Amino acid sequence: MVVFETDRLKLRQMDENDEDNLMRIFSDPIAMQYYPSTKTKEQAQSWIKWNLKNYENNDVGLWICELKENGAYVGQCGIVPQIVNEQQEMEVGYLFVREFWGRGLATEAARASRDFGFTKLGLPRLISMIYKPNLPSIKVAERIGMTFEKETLIKNRETLIYSICK
């Protein structure tokens, strides 16, 4: 199911058939360098189930990003509930296939996800949780209007919280 479109992208709900798409990112050590490790196919299936549960329980989740021109899978982006310092927050998250880096697609998808959160869901605030060394993700957060709020430990990792209010 298509959730929304941007100029170049179609964002749709993830489904059980997206394991191979996700593995294009999850098995790439460079694309996963800011995560604790790459992921297995079993972990990709768990990721899919987590997102399906988020769609059902929260009307949000990470969505599959495909190019409108040819349907090519380029990554995932969306809004997911997270716990930060014992408080629930809604996070704009993004993770893209390395061959599509540097084209502004993550920024385009993140900006559209931000707008969806504010206009369609009526959320008053959104965050991005970024592992401190991940400069490319910091740049995406800043491009969509987020500003640095604080540094905290999440799963024993130095994590920067960027935020934006409606």
Interval 41-63: pLDDT, tens: 999 999 999 999 999 998 999 99
What integer pLDDT is reported at residue 145 of this predicted model? 98
Say if residues 4 and 16 touch (Cβ distance below 8 Å).
no
Residue 5 has which token pair?
């479109």
Which stretches in the chain have pLDDT values below 50?
Answer: none
What integer pLDDT is reported at residue 1 of this predicted model? 76
Place of tokens 């170049």: 8
Model-level pTM? 0.94
One-letter amino acid identity for 103? R
What integer pLDDT is reported at residue 116 of this predicted model? 96
Topology of the domain covering 2-165: Aminopeptidase (3.40.630)
What integer pLDDT is reported at residue 98 of this predicted model? 95
| Burial tier of 108 (Cβ tally within 10 Å: 0-12, 13-18, 19+) | buried
| Boundaries of every domain in the chain | 2-165
